[in-house]
Amino acid sequence: MSDEQVIIIGAGPCGLAAAIELQAVGLNPLIIEKQNVVHSISQYPTYMNFFSTPLNLEIADIPFTTANEKPSRLEALNYYRNVALRRNVRINAYETVKAVEPQGDGSFLLHSSNRNGETRQYRADAVIVATGYFDHPNLLGIPGEDMDKVTHFFREAHPYTGMKVAIIGGSNSAIDAALELERVGASVTVVYRGENYSSSIKPWVRPGFEGLVGKGRIDMRFASRIVAIGPGSVTIEHAGEREELANDFVLALTGFRPDRAFLNSFGVTMEDEGYPTFDDETMESNVPGVYLAGVVASRHQANEIFIESGRFHGRKIAAHLLETGRIRKAR
């Protein structure tokens, strides 16, 4: 069994930032990440650019340089990977924490397994959950949702050339995907519950999108929802009426949620709104010694702009750990 001061679950930008803040106060945290470093960013659309400037995405006081006003996905991957290497952050990649067990002395016992099925155990004085949302999409609960033609992630448009694609959602991700798909010759239908366009759509994108809808090049369905998905069709409901459309693929861009079952398993409670209980000043959850960092603590703003504020969560956590004296043993 490995004895650790602090274990951070998740090696996204905010998990890395937390580790480096802990290093700055003399601690030596271990990150356990079930995929690769900044896996969530590697899942973003291949040619995506961030909304945020490089300055607002920096961590560890290491400059994020780019020739462009807004950095690309590839630049972000390079940046965060190099930060982790330069700061010698300890990361066990491709290892999944299966359970966190609070102990009677206030410490935690963690059980994990790696990609080869080998199991490991750790004891830690404190645990930081920085897992994000992006492995847990909001499911629709409709027939056919588990078919191979349905995905909750949009990577790039090319595979959909000439295909009939239904996009579920009306946020920026849905609008951006629809625009890229239209450019490669896909037949695009956007199905959105709202009565009108979302106010969150980027203002420089909306006019072009509305123009394509007006020209009939994108089929926009307001106040509508997909109620069934079949091998070659989708069924759309609007104002109590149902219509079946020919369909090849469905992009269910319906957002994501925290892994409630995992958090609940070691005592972290959920607020009525669906996000975990935590103190904004310290980032400590209702379980003493368990902290939240990054998107998992974003409440209703789980998107890339949250890196801007989530990167500072580690500073709050480090200060609170020093104040409480929870880290008791030298490692």
Domains of the chain: which residue ranges?
2-135+256-324, 150-252
CA distances to 29, 170, 331 from 185, in Å:
49, 21, 58
CA distances to 141, 178, 322 from 249, in Å:
17, 13, 52
Q: Residue 90: CB partners within 8 Å, gap ≥ 6?
A: 19, 28, 29, 30, 31
CA distances to 8, 31, 315 from 328, in Å:
17, 19, 19
- Amino acid identity, residue 304? E
Which pTM value belongs to this model?
0.81
What is the tens place of the pLDDT at every residue in 55-95? 889 999 999 988 888 899 999 999 999 999 999 999 999 99
Q: For the domain covering 2-135+256-324, report its CATH number.
A: 3.50.50.60
Distance, in Å, from the CA atom of 65 to the CA atom of 105, rounded to the nearest integer, reads 45
Same fold, 2-135+256-324 and 150-252: yes
Distance, in Å, from the CA atom of 306 to the CA atom of 184, rounded to the nearest integer, reads 31
What is the tens place of the pLDDT at every residue in 208-259? 999 999 999 999 999 999 999 999 999 999 999 999 999 999 999 987 777 7
Mean pLDDT of the chain: 91
Lookup result for tokens 């929802």: 225
Q: For the domain covering 150-252, report its CATH number.
A: 3.50.50.60
